[in-house]
Copies of this chain bind each other. A is one copy, B any other.
Amino acid sequence: MSVFDQMESEVRSYCRSFPTVFEKANGYKLWDTQGRQFIDFFAGAGALNYGHNDPGIKQKLLDYIAEDGVIHSLDMATTKKEEFLKRFREVILEPRQLDYKVMFPGPTGTNTVESALKLARKITGRETIISFTQGFHGMTLGALSVTGNSFKRHGAGVPLNHAVSMPYDNFLGDDIDSLTLLERFLEDKGSGVSLPAAIILETVQGEGGINVASQEWLKRVEEICRRWDILLIIDDVQAGCGRTGPFFSFEPSGIQPDIVCLSKSIGGYGLPFAITLIKPELDEWAPGEHNGTFRGHNLAFVAATEALRFWETDEFAKETIRKGEKVNLFLKQLTEKYPQAQLEARGRGLMQGLAFGVDDLADKVCELAFERGLIAETSGSKGEVAKVMPPLIIDDEGLDQGLSILEDSIIEATKTVNN
């Protein structure tokens, strides 16, 4: 690791949690330079829903590169962009009776969020965005201003403004309906909160600690948006592309967001890609008003198009839900078996997590799991939640192995706790 120590900025982080040099990957497995194999319960923080190096996508990429297809095209038209747009409409939008225009912002999550915020402000002529506690939306100044984490926020070096944080579902416990506050602030002209341009939220908060909003809560947020003429932005960067089962995480709630942010797994193969979906009547952009050099990453178009094959039927979503329930059941059993770890199982689909009530225990468990061949990360504002987010294509064998390592690590870690 010496090259990294010498040459890479101190800002590097995951390489500290997983201190080895990775070389190869396939499906739900990774191998390091010593040939050690790891089961991946991390999945590129949600960027590898279809697993590492899916063979179908791989072949398409090899062919496209070999035949000298256009690789970089800014936002000019290309055959592969066209194919992606058509296929996305056929496979994703039309079956769900959704009608969205597609915007290609810069190829990262924070870029799609920034584009969404800009557009919402333009359409409404208002400045405030309402976001939620524990929300995570990105690291550039606009996206950071709607992100809850104080360590990340502090990194801005300037005050983060034009955003108001409201309590997420269950943030105030079971007894207090968190939307009561939002409604009171909106309806009272003396609340100190001006009518916002938009509300932005994740249906399941990944970085915030696998907090799941109920379908009723989402429905009520949408109603509030409609009542007050506020735009609803769903940041589906981590929860989208099937992570919770359906392609869009908001499908079960029946809500129809005005703007949807997608990135991470939309690129299919872990390639940088992001799109912003906009209701046609809200597509008030002027040409070039938001741009970027890498909006035409054709390898990502190729990969993303091929990845849509997973969505031709609803089998993939069903399997994710089945595996998710299996994981959740397992995690719930852990909460009972290891009371000393003060565990809580959380999640939807394969966006699962295990919250530890004992400080630093989640970190310790992930560290021990790594030693045992499992890659799992923590999230939550105190790093108190171990995420269980394998590639969606993982088979039951892989799932069982990974969960078994997780349990072993908890046993080992809580031994230390008990001493």
**Which residues of A are interface residues toward B (Cβ below 8 A)?**
1, 3-4, 7-16, 18-26, 30, 33, 42, 44-48, 52-53, 58, 61-62, 65-79, 81-82, 85-86, 89, 101-111, 114-115, 117-118, 120-122, 127-128, 131-135, 138-143, 145-159, 161-165, 167, 171-172, 176, 180-181, 184-185, 188-194, 197, 208-209, 237, 263-264, 269-272, 276, 278, 283-294, 297, 299, 380-382
Contacts and interface: CB of A to CB of B under 8 A. Distances in A.
A140 B299 CA distance: 24
Contact of A167 (B62, B181, B278): B181
A409 to B, nearest CB: 19
Nearest to A207: B190
Nearest to A211: B190
B75 A14 contact: yes
A404 to B, nearest CB: 23
Given A4-B77, A155-B290, A108 B106 contact: yes
Residue with the greatest number of chain B CB neighbours at <10 A, chosen from A61, A103, A292, A299? A292
A4 B82 contact: yes
Nearest to A263: B293
Contacts of A156: 118, 121, 142
A133 B70 contact: no
A192 B159 contact: no
Closest 5 CB pairs of A and B: A72-B270, A121-B157, A165-B192, A190-B381, A140-B140
Given A22-B77, A109-B293, 19 more contacts: A4-B82, A8-B102, A9-B283, A11-B285, A11-B290, A14-B76, A44-B72, A52-B68, A71-B270, A72-B271, A106-B108, A106-B110, A111-B139, A121-B156, A122-B155, A133-B191, A133-B192, A140-B140, A150-B190
A108 B109 contact: no
B18 A76 contact: yes
A68 B8 contact: no
Contacts of A42: 74
A387 to B, nearest CB: 13
Nearest to A176: B176
Given A108-B294, A149-B190, A172-B184, A69 B23 contact: yes
A21 B82 contact: yes
A292 B139 contact: yes
A164 to B, nearest CB: 8
A151 B189 contact: yes
B162 A190 contact: no
Given A111-B108, A159-B158, A185 B133 contact: yes
B101 A8 contact: yes
Residue with the greatest number of chain B CB neighbours at <10 A, chosen from A9, A74, A105, A237? A9
Contacts of A197: 157
A90 B308 CA distance: 42
B45 A293 contact: yes
A76 to B, nearest CB: 5
